[in-house]
Amino acid sequence: MGKIQKKIITVEHLARVEGRGMIEVYREGTNVKAVLRLVEGPRFFEYITRGKPYDVATDMYSRICAICSASHKLTSIMATERAFDIEVGTLTKLLRKLLVYASFIESHSLHVFLLALPDFLGYPDAIAMADKYGTEVTKGLMMKKVANYIQAMVGGREIHQENAVVGGFGKIPTREEMDKAYRQLEEIRDTAKVAIDILASLQMPKYLDSEYNHVALKQTDEFDAFGEVVVSTSGVEFPVEQYREYLIEKPVSHSFAKFAYLEGKEFMVGALSRLALNGDTLWGESLKIYKELVESGKLRFNNAFYNNLSQAIELLYFVDASLEVLRKLLDMPLDNDRIEVKPKAGRGVAITEAPRGIISYTVEYDDDGNVVFADLVTPTAYNFNIMHRDTQKMAEGVLLENPDIDDDELVKYLEMVPRAYDPCISCSVHLIREE
């Protein structure tokens, strides 16, 4: 019997995700080691904003990501407002909700319809799906378009929203613009249910079945993207100001992104984690569907592939939540309640839920409102450790069940794992030095 040859399989480009990632597989018979590398170079946003005025810095933070720019902008703004002891008004809070909800709809519709579904329906990409699933792809794109309209309406443009500022908004949308947004949301609402139906009908790969420690902002009154306390399914609970004491990052040799740990172990953030911890705070039809899927076993929290279905449920919820916010806005005076900013020395911390999970900001300012220190951690940075674990689990599970699988087929399985997390790789690399 001949000696088993050791193979090195390299996936140079991880497709259908944001940023540059790669997978290396070391295979010798049924023994396998899979290494997920996030090879996007360091971008030094925390360093290059030092010395910058608060308004310039918050604009720069939004440039970290074009997909989650609203989350970066609002979280950095909220951290700044806490450093300056600013409390914004009701109109500003509602508009911020609408802006971030629209960012969820835009991001989730892109991921679910164009990036994730091809994996489960057997297509290399969304274009190849178009012959059979052209209606679904078109509806997904329309949902994304409507969400972009709302982000531009509230934030001034679709990405890197300049209209959102410390203390409020530069300009308030008109009632006519809000009416248009309301009608468009009503038209796309059922598209979310299409995504739920498709994903709920699919069998998720079982190779990732295992224990997950989910982490999210704690919600009490209703499902939301804002909160003051971080919780986990392992029972850990802490105020957002203490995130650096609990969510520990450590550098690794194979990536510019770090591994994140809670109590010495990997953890997950994102749509699946939000539902695992806060699903009962959904309302309306999304709550009904959520409960039915959990009770039927079609939605489970022990496998990252259910993150896709969780995003579809959130799509429906955030459409309904956006409609509710618009009803409130259309029923109140729209006088701009922007607060005058008086910079002072201070440090502020804020965490919000971005589409891919919690995003953490700490910003410290001097007396003139210039940045002296910044620390930010994105959802993909938090998820990198568990994504790496799951890539290895997938490799082991597939080879155990099918030891003769060819390399190309094995790679297809492995690429599905990071895509399930919907990573934003270029957001995940950061380096800071606390002084």
Higher model confidence: residue 238 or residue 415?
238
pLDDT mean over 44-66: 89
CATH 3.40.1280.10 is right for the domain spanning 45-427: no
pTM here? 0.93
In whole angstroms, what is the distance from residue 236 CA to residue 232 CA?
Answer: 5
Lowest mean pLDDT among 133-137, 321-325, 346-350: 133-137
Domain boundary assignment for the chain: 45-427
**Predicted confidence (pLDDT) per residue in 11-42, tens digit:** 766 655 556 666 787 877 778 888 777 656 56
CA dist., res. 17 & res. 160, Å (int): 20
**Residue 111 DSSP class:** I
* Closest to 74 measured CA to CA, from 370, 360, 374: 360
Residue 298 DSSP code: S
Q: What was the pLDDT predicted at 20?
A: 63
CB 393 within 8 A of CB 7: no
Q: 141: closest CA among 97, 188, 176, 183?
A: 188
Q: What pairing do the DSSP bridges indicate for beta strands 7-11 and 21-28?
A: antiparallel
pLDDT in tens, 195-227: 999 999 999 999 999 999 999 999 999 999 999
* Contacts with 242 (C-beta within 8 Å, 6 or more apart), sequence order: none
- The pLDDT score that the predictor gives to residue 92 is 99
CA distance 43 to 427: 9
Nearest to 40 by CA among 360, 257, 252: 257
Q: Letter for the amino acid at 11?
A: V
C-beta of residue 154 within 8 angstroms of C-beta of residue 169? yes
pLDDT digits (tens, 9 = 90+) for 295-307: 999 999 999 999 9
- Does residue 375 or residue 45 have the better pLDDT? 375
Average pLDDT, the chain: 91
Question: Which of 97-101, 112-116, 194-198, 410-414 has the least mean pLDDT?
Answer: 410-414
Model confidence at 2, in pLDDT bands (50, 70, 90)?
Answer: very low
Query: What's the pLDDT score for residue 43?
Result: 65
In percent, the amount of the chain with pLDDT more than 90 equals: 70
Cα angle at 53 between 256 and 88, to 5 degrees? 100
pLDDT for the residue numbered 69: 87
pLDDT, mean of residues 171-178: 98
Q: Supply the pLDDT for residue 1.
A: 32
Q: What is the pLDDT of residue 63?
A: 84
- Contact between 91 and 156 under an 8 Å Cβ cutoff? The reply is no
What is residue 430's predicted lDDT score, i.e. its pLDDT?
A: 42
Q: What is the pLDDT of residues 289-345, one digit of tens each?
A: 999 999 999 999 999 999 999 999 999 999 999 999 999 999 999 999 999 999 999
